[in-house]
């Protein structure tokens, strides 16, 4: 898919301001959409919105179809009388510049349960009808997900690999018995999804009506500890006891000397092909309800992926295995028509990956932060960008521009200064400017780079199991001065929706 000359900002909803310890999809998200619109930008990129599990990573979710209930906003629930002032009276005092996931999750679960209790007690007629409709329309994935979460809770959060054989292997009599005993608990998880879908889809509608397009991720793999793997074991390489025989990762590269051992179960693509890729088509259609454009994470895995024997401690030992390739994307195109997909084509890339990307005219990614370790032929340098690409100052997996510059080898720093024709004192904006001035049709930068923040604001460090995803912006940082700076650079490089006379003073 090709895009017009445009610009946007990368910011996950958890990083927004708000009083509940984590950014969410309430009033601050609407103010954020207004901010993007006021800059003349048209794109808001977020990370996956699924329910997070181990390590709080949005790339390791309990479901490929569900939403993250921790993003549900309490004040919007108050507007519908699902919560009242008393329900929020014991709100803890949270930090406003980072997410303390442990305390936040306890709080969000508490208020979601209060909202569910109030819903059951009050039975508001309009919401009851909406909820019943939601359960019916989403039953194909929702029933398995809610059951999965309820069983998981009954086992103290343990992975489904540690459940009893009857529940792990989905014996009908075991599942039926559990469903009878835990009906309310199962229903409460369905209700949380109802609230998330309702709030997110309303926000997305508002964004679209205000000219803001939302880009979101599909992680190529699902988590081992997910309702997807539990409910569809035939789609993965599991042994007779439902243990993975091989798992996902990437070999050593510039992110990690020992590779990245992700541990996700790998797809049995032969089975997927026999079904016409039915599960994947459902997944992509479901994701396109959340987002307007999908960034397909680890795109190279669709051409070929790194297979690591289960039980290995690192990803150093493995083998490359052919992915689903052209037939997979052709099936998606036959179903959807134009493909609203960005190919995340980073890492150690082979020619077949580019061939697959270009056959379907998918824009790849260019990361300016990677540009300064080589020579003028380096493809990440802005003068080498093609038009049909999405260029970034950096992504959620990189350090911030300033953090990178402070820690990069002096040879790279020197090349960077010479290339930019700057002294490096305002490196974040210097990099943004050269990306924005390129021919790339689409450009984005994390909010951290617009704010010229250092490594303390880094969102994720690949290969580090903890300490990620917690950065938040404070309300005072999203201000008129920043809006005008972004507005100006969007205007200067013909990436703005605003006419000159519409710009703010």
Q: What is the DSSP track for 366-423?
A: EEGGGGGGS-TT-TTSGGG--SSEEEES--TTSPPHHHHHHHS-HHHHHHHHHHHTS-
Q: What is the pLDDT of residues 35-68, one digit of tens each?
A: 999 999 999 999 999 999 888 999 999 999 999 9
Q: Which pLDDT value is given to residue 209?
A: 98
Does some domain include residue 1? no
Domain count, the chain: 1
CA distance linking residue 266 with residue 237, whole number of Å: 6
Distance CA 329, CA 1 (A): 13
Residue 426 lies in a domain: yes
CATH number of the structural domain spanning residue 439: 3.20.20.80
122: CB partners within 8 A, 6+ apart? 81
Task: Give phi and psi for 236, each to the nearest 5.
Answer: -130, 165
User: Is 390 a domain residue?
Assistant: yes
The range of the structural domain enclosing residue 393 comes to: 6-502
Give the tokens for residue 269.
């693509």
Query: What digits encode the pLDDT tens for the residues 348-401?
Result: 789 999 999 999 999 999 999 999 998 999 999 999 999 999 999 999 999 999
pLDDT at 504: 58
- The tally of CA atoms less than 13 A away on the side-chain side of residue 98 is 11
Q: What pTM was estimated for this model as a whole?
A: 0.96
Query: For 441-457, how does the pLDDT look when each residue is reduced to its tens digit (9 = 90+)?
Result: 999 999 999 999 999 99
pLDDT at 256: 78
Tell me what the mean pLDDT of segment 344-349 comes to. Answer: 89
Please give the order of strands across the beta sheet that includes 319-322. Answer: 260-265, 246-250, 304-309, 319-322
Tell me the three state secondary structure of residue 264: strand
pLDDT tens profile 316-334: 999 999 999 999 999 999 9
- Decide: helix, strand or coil at residue 158: coil
108: confidence class by pLDDT, cuts 50, 70, 90: very high
- Under the banding of pLDDT at 50, 70 and 90, the label for residue 253 is confident
- Catalytic residue set: 297, 344, 397
């Amino acid at each position: 898919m090709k895009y017009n000359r445009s610009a946007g900002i990368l910011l996950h909803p958890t990083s927004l301001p708000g009083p509940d310890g984590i950014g969410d999809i309430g009033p601050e998200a609407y103010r954020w959409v207004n901010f993007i619109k006021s800059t003349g930008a048209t794109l808001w990129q977020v990370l996956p919105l699924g329910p997070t599990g181990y390590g709080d990573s949005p790339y390791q979710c309990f479901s490929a179809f569900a939403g993250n209930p921790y993003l549900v906003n309490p004040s919007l629930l108050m507007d519908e009388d699902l919560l009242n002032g008393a329900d929020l009276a014991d709100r803890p005092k949270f930090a406003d510049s980072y997410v303390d996931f442990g305390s936040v999750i306890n709080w969000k679960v508490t208020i979601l349960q209060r909202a569910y209790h109030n819903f059951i007690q009050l039975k508001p007629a309009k919401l009851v009808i909406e909820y019943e409709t939601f359960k019916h329309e989403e039953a194909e994935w929702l029933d398995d997900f809610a059951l999965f979460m309820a069983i998981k809770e009954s086992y103290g959060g343990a992975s489904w690999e540690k459940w009893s054989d009857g529940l792990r292997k989905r014996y009908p009599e075991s599942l039926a018995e559990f469903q009878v005993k835990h009906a309310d608990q199962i229903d409460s998880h369905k209700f949380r999804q109802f609230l998330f879908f309702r709030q997110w889809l309303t926000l997305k509608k508002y964004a679209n009506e205000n000219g803001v397009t939302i880009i979101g991720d599909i992680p190529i793999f699902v988590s081992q500890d997910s309702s997807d793997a539990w409910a569809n074991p035939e789609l993965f390489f599991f042994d007779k006891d439902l243990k993975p025989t091989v798992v996902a990762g990437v070999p050593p590269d510039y992110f990690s000397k020992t590779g990245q051992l992700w541990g996700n179960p790998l797809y049995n693509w032969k089975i997927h092909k026999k079904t016409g890729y039915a599960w994947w088509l459902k997944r992509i259609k479901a994701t396109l309800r959340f987002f307007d454009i999908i960034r397909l994470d680890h795109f190279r895995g669709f051409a070929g992926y790194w297979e690591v024997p289960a039980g290995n401690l690192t990803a150093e030992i493995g083998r490359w295995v052919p992915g689903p390739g052209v037939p997979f994307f052709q099936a998606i195109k036959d179903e959807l028509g134009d493909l609203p997909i960005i190919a995340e084509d980073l890492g150690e890339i082979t020619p077949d990956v580019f061939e697959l990307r270009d056959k379907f005219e998918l824009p790849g990614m260019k990361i300016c932060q990677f540009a300064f370790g080589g020579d003028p032929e380096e493809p990440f340098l802005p003068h080498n960008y093609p038009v049909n690409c999405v260029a970034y100052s950096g992504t959620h997996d990189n350090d911030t521009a300033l953090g990178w510059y402070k820690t990069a080898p002096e040879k790279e720093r020197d090349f960077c200064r010479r290339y930019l024709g700057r002294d490096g004192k305002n490196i974040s904006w210097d990099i943004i400017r050269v990306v924005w001035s390129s021919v790339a049709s689409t450009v984005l930068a994390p909010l951290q780079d617009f704010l010229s923040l250092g490594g303390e604001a880094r969102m994720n460090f690949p290969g580090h199991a903890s300490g990620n995803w917690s950065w938040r912006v404070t309300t005072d940082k999203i201000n008129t001065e920043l809006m005008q700076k972004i507005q100006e650079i969007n205007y200067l490089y013909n990436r703005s929706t605003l006419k000159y006379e519409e710009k703010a003073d």
